[in-house]
Amino acid sequence: MLDEEIAEVEAEIDCIMDEIQSPITSIPGIGSQMGAMILAEVGDFSCFDSPDKILAYAGLSPSIHQSGQMKNCYAHMEKRGSRYLRYAIFNATRFVCNWNPIFAAYLAKKRSEGKHYNVAISHAAKKLVRLIYAMEQSGQVYRPAA
């Protein structure tokens, strides 16, 4: 019974994504369900001036802690904002890094710099958000660099 309901909901999501025709699903690794989750949480991309605003809305921007001469040397993610968007972006980034050689190379570069896996994924997530923002603004589908 639950499997039938899940299949029905996923079919409805697929129909809605086909109607919207968002270029987000042209990125290797982002399917209609994950794309729908990101689009639903962001809403209208024209409300954001830059991809940095989306990162801040998702809580993916680094926190700043300074007092007088002291500056925070270990900047953590803020984790304010939409936790659902943060979840969707992180999971989408993991899949994109598996399916897209450009993102896989970027993740490997960050890992070779000595960064923890989650930190490297957060860097790739920021790159993915910039890509999604540019694609949504232009309406063009993803084309890998030649």
pLDDT in tens, 93-143: 999 999 999 999 999 999 999 999 988 999 999 999 999 999 999 989 998
How far apart (Å, rounded) are the C-alpha atoms in residues 146 and 144?
6
Closest CA to 30 of 79, 99, 82, 114: 99
Q: Indicate the residue type of 7.
A: A
pLDDT in tens, 36-84: 999 999 988 889 999 989 988 888 876 555 566 655 555 566 567 788 9
pTM: 0.83
pLDDT in tens, 11-41: 999 999 999 888 999 999 998 999 999 999 9
CB 32 within 8 A of CB 13: yes
What does the DSSP 8-state code read for residue 23?
Answer: G
CB 61 within 8 A of CB 54: no
Which SS3 state, helix, strand or coil, does residue 62 take? strand
How far apart (Å, rounded) are the C-alpha atoms in residues 100 and 81?
28
CA gyration radius for the chain? 17
